[in-house]
Amino acid sequence: MKHKLIFATGNPNKVKEVNQILNGALEVVSMKDFGVTEDIPETSDTIEGNALQKARYLAKHYQVDCFSEDTGLEVEVLGGAPGVHTARYGGASRSAEANMGRLLKELGGEMNRVAQFKTVIALILDGKEYTFEGICKGSILRSQRGEGGFGYDPIFQPLGYDKSFAELPYSEKNKISHRGKAMEQLIEFLKNRG
């Protein structure tokens, strides 16, 4: 079942995490390794729309089987924000520190800190489109904890745990994470396809 897929992302942390989740089940090549250097636009107003937009771009311009993903952090009391704006919530720099800083400031002393991460993977295989969704429910901590992970991991505590994503070993995080759940569905789909 060894499929080779181009992963439409410029984020090396996501490539690393996906390869850890896949554990050799797929051969994943990053855009950079494939020679794609342009920044693919993300102009949709939904997470699913952005994932599809990135995959369609690669499939159209490079005629390859590929997948992309888009992830959003949705905070209940903020009406689902930052949502589709998760990566640039703190400004165009995409700085994790700025993103977390803005979110913590906006939540302030708010008691309701219920949140979830949502990942949508868009796969284009033999010209057909498929999507897979993974959700991890949890809450936003009042301050950063842990050194691992990336993005909002130091302030997100998954439901049923007393540690932030950044405090969990990758092996444990990947079993319960939004991205891990979506990747499991992708792997299962490819296995069943043969």
Distances (CA, A) of 145 to 95, 138, 151: 17, 15, 12
Across the range 119-135, mean pLDDT stands at: 96
SS3 of 70, please? strand
Global confidence as pTM:
0.90
pLDDT band with cut points at 50, 70 and 90 for residue 1: very low
- CATH number for the domain harbouring residue 20: 3.90.950.10
Strands (E) located in 39-127: 66-75, 114-125
- Is the Cα dihedral 47, 66, 99, 178 positive or negative? positive
- Our count of domains for the chain comes to 1
Q: Catalytic positions, please? A: 70
Nearest to 39 by CA among 3, 92, 100, 2: 92
Report pLDDT for 194: 61
Within 10 angstroms of residue 93's Cβ, the number of other Cβ atoms is 10
More confident: 100 or 174:
100
Q: Residue range 92-112: average pLDDT?
A: 95
pLDDT of residue 156: 98
Interatomic CA distance for residues 73 and 81, integer angstroms: 7
CB neighbourhood size of 87 (10 A)? 20
Q: How many Cα atoms sit within 13 Å of 102 on the Cβ side?
A: 18
Average pLDDT, the chain: 92
Mean of the pLDDT values across residues 17-29? 81
User: 178 lies in which domain range?
Assistant: 4-193
